[in-house]
Chain A
Amino acid sequence: MNKEFSFIVIDDSELDCFVIQKVIEHTDNSLGIKTYQNAQQALDAIRNNSENANQLAIILLDLQMPDMKGFEFVEEFEKFPPEIKNNYSIVILSIISSERDHIDVRRKFASDKVNSVIEKPLTTEKLFSVLSRLRSA
């Protein structure tokens, strides 16, 4: 079961990237993790990467980034051909100030590539529930 996923973390904060990476490693340290503090670089890497053809990669995406917002990232991602898109599932990480916010954010992502929206900070419990949801899907 172990090597079924790899992770791509996109967050402009160095500390958040570090914490997310460690949380994943502490949950299961056999999963591959790449971190990007710049969404454009992540997009370029996804575009050029064909190696993990048979493995699902989970994109943990921060919504509030200064250069490219999470929404813009998803828009750009949607432009990829299906053979690329099908290898990824997006999980939104966001600062959520109210329950309304949560619903608004969820509603804004019509894309079926967006698997779930979770409130920052990421913890092992939250990661665990994301993983089990993906496994059962």
Chain B
Amino acid sequence: MKILYVDDEPDNLLGFKASLRLDYNIITAVNTPQAKSCLDNHPDIKVIFCDQRMPGKTGVEFFEEIRISHPLPVRILLTAYTDVEAIIDAINRGNIFRYVQKPWAEVDIISAIDEASKFYTANSMLSIKNVELQKAYNELDKFAYSVSHDIRGPLSGILGAINLAREIDGVEEMREMLFLMEKSLKKLDTYILSMHDYYSLQRGELKITEIDFNVVIDDLKDIYTVFSKTNHIAFNISVEQDEVFRSDDTAVRLILNNLLSNAFKYQDKKRKGKAVDVIVKVQNNLATIYVKDTGIGILGSHIGEIFNLFYRANFQEVGSGFGLYNVKSALLKLNGQIEVTSVLHQGTTFRVTIPSI
């Protein structure tokens, strides 16, 4: 544990270091500018002891200054018994954790460090929790919007269609409407399934089994063959696996399915020689997967955002904004990585690596 001690008297610094160096990593500074640079160089300092009476800045002034720039380290003032004003000041302005009387006894310092360390840990855990909560809140906000647009939207459309159906006599007109209603319902269904994926990835536990990529890719081939034929998109597959690979089957399938679905969906319709390539190679306990398409590509300025929840770079096709977010969540659970390279109007390549467990 790193502790910073600031005092203008070198003898005090030496004494402090001598008695505590075996148990703690003591960093010392003879003035406040030096102390500040110590804080900048060692962001993991947990406790700061600072003498009140120093030429230049007092301990209180120093604490008041750093509580904004370096809020994490726990601040402890060293002061003589007579400095009651300084102590009150330190509490109010410097927001100190506690003070230790000078001349100090080693036991007091050690107990102060113990308490400060507990306080530091509790505080950092709190700020981690706060960050997580903030993230959860932000997602909840997005969900609220999404529920109204992506769930109530199709429902109200279908209600409108049912209302209208009472006034429609023509069979052709009715058929056209039923076709659009079906499309709308399928979109809603896909949305709800992706939401379920989202939920199980956030809350679910992993189930590790042996995975044969030949089987996984064969299943996916069954799903996409019809689409690839009717839309004239070549579907090229290559799987090389000579060793055992262990991971969560559901998560691996979710990743591949989402990437493939995007690769087929975001094709450039006018282009000749449309293709989707999937290459899987398992070697040295690592699966490397490429999913390549000859699609519309992703704008450079959008690439950083495509993995965000509900983010959609393109509105030409039906999408929920869950797909790549779910891919990234799944990879996080599997300790995997994803990289994307894309050229506008040329195509996009995703490279995924997943370690065997």
Contacts and interface: CB of A to CB of B under 8 A. Distances in A.
29 contacts: A12-B315, A13-B154, A14-B184, A15-B154, A15-B160, A15-B180, A15-B183, A16-B157, A19-B177, A22-B164, A22-B167, A22-B173, A22-B177, A23-B160, A23-B164, A26-B167, A38-B315, A64-B149, A64-B153, A66-B312, A66-B315, A67-B315, A97-B148, A97-B152, A120-B156, A120-B157, A123-B160, A123-B164, A124-B167
A124 B152 CA distance: 20
B176 interface: yes
Most-contacted residue by chain A among B149, B168, B173 (CB, 10 A):
B149
Given A22-B173, A95-B149, A121 B180 contact: no
B195 interface: no
Nearest to A27: B167
A121 B163 contact: yes
A22 B152 CA distance: 21
B159 interface: yes
B206 interface: no
Nearest to B173: A22
Nearest to B152: A95
Given A13-B157, A97-B148, A120-B156, A18 B315 contact: no
Q: Is the interface of B mostly helix, strand, loop or mixed?
A: helix
B201 to A, nearest CB: 23
A122 B315 contact: no
B91 interface: no
A2 B169 CA distance: 23
Interface in A98-133: 120-124
A129 B48 CA distance: 72
A71 to B, nearest CB: 13
B30 interface: no
Nearest to A125: B163
Most-contacted residue by chain A among B145, B180, B183 (CB, 10 A):
B180
Given A14-B183, A66-B315, A123 B163 contact: yes
A95 B148 contact: yes
B27 interface: no
A26 B180 CA distance: 19
A28 to B, nearest CB: 13
Most-contacted residue by chain A among B160, B167, B173, B176 (CB, 10 A):
B160
B160 A122 contact: yes
A114 to B, nearest CB: 20
Nearest to B185: A15
A12 B318 CA distance: 10
Contacts of B167: 22, 26, 124
Interface in B313-327: 315
Contact of B156 (A12, A22, A66, A121): A121
A44 B232 CA distance: 33
A15 B181 contact: yes
Given A20-B160, A22-B164, A120-B153, 6 more contacts: A13-B154, A19-B157, A22-B177, A64-B148, A95-B152, A120-B156
Interface in B239-287: none
A20 B163 CA distance: 11
A66 B180 CA distance: 19
Contacts of A14: 180, 183-184
Contacts of B184: 13-15
B177 A18 contact: yes
B161 interface: yes
Contact of A95 (B156, B164, B315): B156
B152 to A, nearest CB: 5
